[in-house]
Amino acid sequence: MEIFTLKLSGHLFDNGDLLPTYVDLIRELWVGGYRMVVVTGGGSLARRYIELGKGLGINESLLDMLGISASRLNAQLLASALSDIAYLPIPKDLNETFSAWTTGRLVIVGGFQPGQSTATVAMLVSELLGVRKLIDCANVDAVYTSDPRKDPNAKRLE
């Protein structure tokens, strides 16, 4: 049995045509005997709420909480679409994630705490559960020294 962590970019949840394909793929892998934890990003929903919050003068920690809520909403959407195999409710921290994992159901999480990206959550969950393979379905074409969408000096790593 192969076990891995699947990190889904929030961008996936912005694409109504692509999301059903991922739902079908995850179900097919699960039924085929693969076991995974899925970590979802917040996507444009998170960015929209963070921008609204900035306009209202909300501090960084609370802006992060808005992003975390969006990522958890995406996790809830995915878990609802996979409710026949997914653990519900959505775990909110590492302790809840570990407990959910012990049920043998598909575990889907969003963000955990302010100051922490969902990519970090994926790594922490992998470490906690002893998962040695992490597949990051990011919305980039390669690995860079920093986010090329934000940093014009980002260098592509070969």
Structural domain includes residue 145: no
Structural domain of 107:
3-137
Mean pLDDT per 10-residue segment, the chain (158 residues): 94 90 97 98 97 98 98 98 98 99 98 97 98 85 72 81
Q: Would 93 be classed as within a structural domain? A: yes
pLDDT of residue 107: 99
Token readout for 38 is 């899925």
CA 104 to chain CA mean position, Å: 19
CB atoms within 10 A of CB 158: 5
Q: For residue 11, report the phi and psi dihedrals to the nearest 5 degrees.
A: -55, -35
146, part of any domain: no
Is pTM beyond 0.95 here? no
| 42 in a structural domain | yes
Residue 32 · residue 26 · CB < 8 Å: no
* pLDDT given for residue 154 in this prediction: 81
Judge whether 123 lies within some domain.
yes
pLDDT for the residue 32: 97
CA–CA separation, 105 vs 152, rounded Å? 42
Can you read off the two tokens belonging to residue 54? 């900035």
Which ranges of 16-91 does DSSP label H, i.e. alpha helix? 19-31, 43-55, 60-81
pLDDT score at 26: 97
And the tokens for 95? 């302790």
The count of other CB atoms within 10 Å of the CB of residue 39 is 30
Helix (H, G, I), strand (E, B) or coil at 138: coil
Edge-to-edge, what's the strand order for the sheet holding 3-8? 107-109, 35-40, 3-8, 134-137
In a domain, 157, yes or no: no
Q: Please check whether residue 154 lies inside any domain of the structure.
A: no
Domain count, the chain: 1
Q: Is residue 143 a part of any domain in this protein?
A: no
Whichever domain contains 20, its CATH number is 3.40.1160.10
